[in-house]
Amino acid sequence: MAPVTTDSDPIPVTLRWAVWLLRGEAVAVGLIALWLVWADLTADTTVGLTSALLVTAFAVAGAVALWVLGAALHRRRAGARAPAIVLQLMLLPIGWYMIQGGMGWLGVPLMALGVGVSVLLVAPASNRALGFS
C-alpha cells in the first residue's frame, strides 16, 4: 500500500477566493455558451453561420480554460497563475468598451473583477502557496 500524504498547509484565503471567482466566471461563460448554442440552433438564417459558430466555440473554450485554470490553482500549480492573470486582464478592455457603449452597470464590475482576481493571485499568501517566495 502506498503511503498517503496530506498537505498540512491549507489553501490561503486569497488563493481560495481567486479559485472560487475563476470557477464562477467559468460557470457564467458556460451559461453564455449554452445560450449561444441555443441561438445558433434556432437561428432563422444561415448567413454568418461560420462567425456564429466561432463565437460559440470561443465562449466554450473560455469557460473550459477558466475552469481548468481554477482547478490547477486549487492544486497549487504555479504555471496556471500567469494564464489566469492574462484572462483576468482581458476583462479590462471588455469592461472599458461596455462603459463606452452605455453599459457601465456591467463594464465597471467586470473591470473590478479582473483587477480583483489578479490582485488575489499575486497576494503574498498566494505567492507562498504557489511556491513563488
pLDDT in tens, 19-67: 999 999 999 999 999 999 999 999 988 888 899 999 999 999 999 999 9
**Quick check: is 1 in a domain?**
no
Parent domain of 55: 13-127
Q: How many domains does the chain have?
A: 1
Sequence-distant (≥ 6) Cβ neighbours of residue 92 within 8 angstroms: 111, 114, 115
**Quick check: is 62 in a domain?**
yes
Mean pLDDT across 15-20: 98
pLDDT score recorded for residue 3: 57
**Quick check: is 3 in a domain?**
no
- d(CA 59, CA 37) in angstroms, rounded, equals 10
**Quick check: is 90 in a domain?**
yes
pLDDT score recorded for residue 133: 79
Sequence-distant (≥ 6) Cβ neighbours of residue 40 within 8 angstroms: 49, 52, 53, 56
Pick from 24, 13, 23: nearest CA to 128: 13
Sequence-distant (≥ 6) Cβ neighbours of residue 78 within 8 angstroms: 130, 131, 132
